[in-house]
């Protein structure tokens, strides 16, 4: 049998990467009757960070026919976020928000979640190939991918269009030199999972905890309760703050956890369930999110920061928008990808960016911990934190920087 010939493929759409954006895009395209090939370098299930979903994501999972599988998977329920700084606490219930739509979601172990989504896409008819790496791409109206499998077999994929959903692998930005400077400082994170052992009724497991370092307002922690008594815990700071040899990461993270009163009380001595991991320089950007014969989804295009768990929501929103745009093109319309995809997607990303930037400078922390919050404004802030960063009926989406600056001035007064 000629293995190379058997691997060659001609499809409507080739998708690079089987993470959430790739899986949802594949499912949406299959629902539209398109032939889809998903090429994934790794084998699933595999570990990934980004475990706290936002409620806005649920609409895209429902649209892709994946909602029932996610709901029935037994993930930890989530309805909001709790912020902590020394003695101050501020909890947001995402069901109490300005925007219509889902107010609840899940906190997930990404290995299981991502595997579930791509299996749903495969059940809907997507051809999914694990252990296959894209080596090169010829762009244009009839793009061609040069691919190899783990046995070293090289083959070509001819597609009408290519979607890059490769996440932090950023396949097409690397191959096509699309990288652009990011406006975000170079930060890093160290993290692990713990056996939390938190007694029932002593802590709200339905919310992510975001804690500010007691001595450094630009250093923060996450604690994400997961199912089965586990929690994901990590610390994010400018890279130099966490720059220790690999052998010292466990001690560094333990010391950091124990220096924050709330986390120390909850998990200060909780056993780590895996080696402490490190990720750095994750913020990324590109000049444009599309080109001749391709578009970039999710983290393959731009990643801001983990503080508000926006990564998966942006990824799923990008899959939704890209497939809507691509369907018009495949049906013969002339499509302006800049106006139909790039501009509207970046609108929400820029709303998140305004929140992220002001978190690190302290203004958003002042707003979140302000003791006398106006209920209607609080619901607007809650909506963005719940992922509704494209709802321009919300003033903090339509004009986020100016609105947040003005609100901070009121808080100071």
Q: How many other CB atoms sit within 10 Å of the CB of residue 248?
A: 11
Give the span between the Cα atoms of 26 and 9, in whole angstroms.
16
CATH number of 11-76+105-181+283-348: 3.50.50.60
List the chain pLDDT tens, one digit each, 413 residues: 334 447 899 999 999 999 999 999 999 999 999 999 999 999 999 999 999 999 999 999 999 999 999 999 999 999 999 999 999 999 999 999 999 999 999 999 999 999 999 999 999 999 999 999 999 999 999 999 999 999 999 999 999 999 999 998 999 999 999 987 767 778 999 999 999 988 878 899 999 999 999 999 999 999 999 999 999 999 999 999 999 999 999 999 999 999 999 999 999 999 999 999 999 876 667 888 999 999 999 988 878 888 899 999 999 999 999 999 999 999 999 999 999 999 999 999 999 999 999 999 999 999 999 999 999 999 999 999 999 999 999 999 999 999 999 999 999 88
Bridge partners, residue 129, by sequence: 39
Query: Roughly what angle, to the nearest 10 degrees, separates helices 20-31 and 56-63?
Result: 40
Give the span between the Cα atoms of 348 and 354, in whole angstroms.
10
Matching fold, domains 11-76+105-181+283-348 and 187-280? no
**pLDDT score for 284:** 67
User: CATH second-level architecture of 187-280?
Assistant: 2-Layer Sandwich (3.30)
So where are the chain's domains?
A: 11-76+105-181+283-348, 187-280, 361-412
Bridge partners, residue 40, by sequence: 130
């Amino acid at each position: 049998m000629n293995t190379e010939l058997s691997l060659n493929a001609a499809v409507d759409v080739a998708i690079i990467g089987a993470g959430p954006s790739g899986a949802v895009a594949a499912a949406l395209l299959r629902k539209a009757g398109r032939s889809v090939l998903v090429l994934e370098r790794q084998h699933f299930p595999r570990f990934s960070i980004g475990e706290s979903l936002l409620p806005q994501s649920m609409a895209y999972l429902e649209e892709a026919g994946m909602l029932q599988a996610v709901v029935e998977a037994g993930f930890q329920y989530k309805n909001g976020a709790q912020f902590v700084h020394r003695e101050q606490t501020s909890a947001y219930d995402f069901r109490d928000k300005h925007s219509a739509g889902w107010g609840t979601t899940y906190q997930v172990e990404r290995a299981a979640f991502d595997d579930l989504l791509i299996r749903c896409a495969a059940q809907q008819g997507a051809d999914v190939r694990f252990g296959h790496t894209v080596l090169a791409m010829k762009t244009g109206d009839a793009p061609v991918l040069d691919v190899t499998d783990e046995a070293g077999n090289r083959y070509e994929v001819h597609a009408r269009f290519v979607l890059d959903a490769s996440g932090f692998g950023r396949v097409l930005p690397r191959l096509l030199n699309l990288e652009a400077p990011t406006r975000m400082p170079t930060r890093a994170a160290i993290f692990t999972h713990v056996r939390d052992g938190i007694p029932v009724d002593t802590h709200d497991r339905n919310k992510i905890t975001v804690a500010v370092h007691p001595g450094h307002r630009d250093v923060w922690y996450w604690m994400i309760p997961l199912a089965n008594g586990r929690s994901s815990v990590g610390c994010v700071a400018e890279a130099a703050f966490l720059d220790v040899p690999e052998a010292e990461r466990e001690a560094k993270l333990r010391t950091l956890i124990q220096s924050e009163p709330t986390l120390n009380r909850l998990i200060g001595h909780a056993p780590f369930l895996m080696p402490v991991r490190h990720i750095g320089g994750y913020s990324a950007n590109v000049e444009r999110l599309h080109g001749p014969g391709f578009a970039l989804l999710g983290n393959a295009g731009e990643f801001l920061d983990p503080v508000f768990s926006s990564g998966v929501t942006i990824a799923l929103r990008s899959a939704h928008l890209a497939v809507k745009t691509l369907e018009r093109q495949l049906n013969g319309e002339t499509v302006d990808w800049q106006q139909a995809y790039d501009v509207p997607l970046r609108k929400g990303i820029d709303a998140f960016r305004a929140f992220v930037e002001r978190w690190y400078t302290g203004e958003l922390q002042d707003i979140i911990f302000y003791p006398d919050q106006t209920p209607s404004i609080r619901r607007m802030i809650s909506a963005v934190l719940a992922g509704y960063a494209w709802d321009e009926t919300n003033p903090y989406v339509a004009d986020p920087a100016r609105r947040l600056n003005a609100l901070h001035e009121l808080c100071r007064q």
